[in-house]
Amino acid sequence: MSDQDTSKENNKDYSASNIQVLEGLEAVRKRPAMYIGDVGVRGLHHLVYEVVDNSIDEALAGHCDQIDVTIHEDNSISVKDNGRGIPVGMHEKEGKSALEVVMTVLHAGGKFDKDTYKVSGGLHGVGVSCVNALSTKLIATVHSKDGKVYQQEYGIGVPKYDVKSIGTTDITGTIVQFWPDESIFDENVYNYDTLSARLRELAFLNKGINLSITDERNQDDEGNLIKDEFFSEGGLSEFVSFLDESREQLIPDVIYMDGEKSGVPVEVAITYNTSYSENVHSYVNNINTHEGGTHLSGFRRGLTRTLKKYADESGMLAKLKFDINGDDFREGLTAVVSVKVAEPQFEGQTKTKLGNKEVIGAVDVSVGEMLTNYLEEHPKEAKIIVQKVILAAQARHAARKAKEMVQRKNVMSGSGLPGKLADCSEKDASKCEIYLVEGDSAGGTAKQGRDRKFQAIMPLRGKILNVEKAMQHKIFENEEIKNIYTALGVKLGTEEDAKALDVSSLRYHKVIIMCDADVDGSHIETLILTFFFRHMKELVEGGNIYIATPPLYLVKKGSQSKYCWSDDERDAAINEMRGSGKETSVGVQRYKGLGEMNAEQLWSTTMDPERRTLRQVNVDSAAEADRVFSMLMGDDVPPRRDFIERNAKYANVDI
């Protein structure tokens, strides 16, 4: 890392005076979503990311190479690193320990001092103080460079005692353990897979750093604690190989560069596969910018310019009767772009779109140089890439007519809505919802049971096309997919991106997938979700996609009846109704299909906003979601078999 030597020189200056305070900690507990996104599962896990990001910042500054995360039995989290340790000296302006300032004051930290951290993910400095405010208890332990161990404990952000010395040490580093406040969060159980996926991502993005996660709540078959360790020597080149492991490779290499242009460190890795989708993931200071920004614009510009120049000079485009456009160069592309920016300008605290103009040129030039060198040194692979681009252009040309048919069949054109759609009377899209229902039979029941004012029903015939394996024109020719586009009122192409989805005319703000509670229903759900993730990602990111949860059982005894959504609920209901009698006196009906319920039952269990349970679909990690969809829906069988075997213990199988 180019800044490492400079950072080590600054080591002696990193003390209490480096911690700058912008304002006090206010309103975090009152409006937590403003600071951590939401108070659901995502917000709960975000607390861990904020603490880990502090340790990663130490690593980026060249002072830390080991970060350990532990999920304890009581569901508390501890994050330990071997960095310099948060300063514990007296802070001049605040008149208290710098550790207490960092932990209790919003917008306080070394990140605002350019000499302390050259780059930093947690730009707003709210991270660890927010975690403190949203935890019933937090203990910060610092192994200081003066050979002492210091500690301070907090309750909902308030120190229990002054920073005190509790022993001696011959190492340096910080350990933060916190207990999330259950009264704040809707969900309070940490998901091991979610946290390990983020740590794996961080290992790829920061090569040379060891990250580990241990789950003290669970053990493997041999009685050992569940644990994963992540370390990447190759960085993004290994990341791209990992993302593409279940796809068929078009070229054998990962094209990779790691350097600095115009003072901006740029790391890029790309490869091509035989699929028809584009999978580009961009990061700024380890933050996944899923809305893109200037670094992604620079990447696309550099890629298109360089490949177009090579294709023109090779003469391979001579027989093509229409122009190649930028989209054609990105079909079958898997790429990761990571930049480190000293003063990043993001759109809001969500940090999902980069605005720094100087980054466009830096990434553009870097990608151009990297690709030019590769194409010159690998003429065989270069020819294969250009042939793929030509095929993509021909497929786009073939798909244009099918796309135009989809565009033409919208509400305003007068060609009307799909015949199967039972629309609602409400015209305000924010109040409307549409159910995509498996099968005509269940669709008919749903039409009878719905509230016609705001609920629309669209039956889908059987299993829709697996878009993971289909060419673009086949997708737009598929009747069910055409009907979904037309019913939702969305259009293809925006001013910024011809492949993006224009959601300005979206007719329903809730799109609810309702399938049978059996294996086929789960498969259809996955097919529909694959379509939304690959072709209507904007709706997923906007929180518009939901999954209905019909009950699995109806437990009855005489005039008593109770719907149950799990085996545990069923058993509890049986025991409750059985009383002193025998279990056989209690009847249990297993619902395998929506058609087994009448209209009133379907309304009361699955469609009534007062009583139903909807699961909102969101994407925590775009890269991980991309990998899982390719693995589940692609051609490569072994990774899918491994996944099924690994997760078989969670499956509900009807025998």
Which of 475, 438, 477, 478 has its CA nearest to residue 458?
Answer: 438
438 flagged as catalytic? yes
Is the separation of the CB atoms in 577 and 570 below 8 Å?
Answer: no
Q: Which long-range contacts (CB under 8 A, 24 or more apart) does 96-100 make?
A: 96/162, 97/16, 97/152, 97/162, 97/163, 98/15, 98/16, 98/19, 99/140, 99/142, 99/150, 99/152, 99/163, 100/152, 100/159, 100/162, 100/163
**Which position among 58, 480, 518, 525 bears the catalytic label?**
518
Phi, psi of 20 (to 5 degrees): -105, 140
Tokens 């996926």 correspond to 197
- Residue 74 is a catalytic residue: no
Closest CA to 328 of 394, 384, 374, 281: 394
Instruction: Please say if 516 is a catalytic residue.
Output: yes
Q: Got the DSSP string for 420-451?
A: T-B--S---GGG-EEEEEESHHHHHHHHHHS-
Phi, psi (degrees; rounded to nearest 5) at 503: -100, 10
Instruction: Identify the active-site residue in 100, 201, 438, 477.
Output: 438
CA distance 451 to 444: 14
Q: Quote the Cα angle for 650-41-530, to 5°.
A: 60
Q: How far apart are CA 553 and CA 572, in angstroms?
A: 12
Q: Which residues of 167-200 are buried (b: 16+ CB within 10 A; e: fewer)?
A: eebeebbbbbbbbbbeebbeeeebebebbbbbbb
Could you tell me how far CA 52 lies from the centroid of its own chain?
17
Spatial distance between the Cα atoms of 177 and 187, rounded to a whole number of angstroms: 19
> In this structure, which amino acid lies at residue 175?
I
Residue 567, classified by CB atoms within 10 Å of its CB into exposed (0-12), middle (13-18) or buried (19+), is exposed
User: Could you give the CA distance from residue 247 to residue 230 in angstroms, rounded to a whole number?
Assistant: 23
The sheet carrying 560-564 orders its strands as 560-564, 553-557, 587-590
Rounded to whole angstroms, the Cα distance separating 43 from 135 reads: 12
Tokens of residue 214, six digits? 């241990």
3-state secondary structure 336-376: EEEECCCCCCECCCCCCCECCCHHHHHHHHHHHHHHHHHHH
Q: For residue 354, give Cα distances in angstroms to 292, 296, 346.
A: 7, 9, 5
Has 567 been annotated as catalytic? no
| Given 516, 525, 624, 626, the catalytic residue | 516
Catalytic pick from 38, 216, 369, 520?
520
Three-state SS string over 536-577 comes to CHHHHHCCCEEEECCCCEEEEECCEEEEECCHHHHHHHHHHH
> What's the rounded Cα separation, in Å, for the pair 457 and 449?
10
Provide the annotated active-site residues: 438, 516, 518, 520
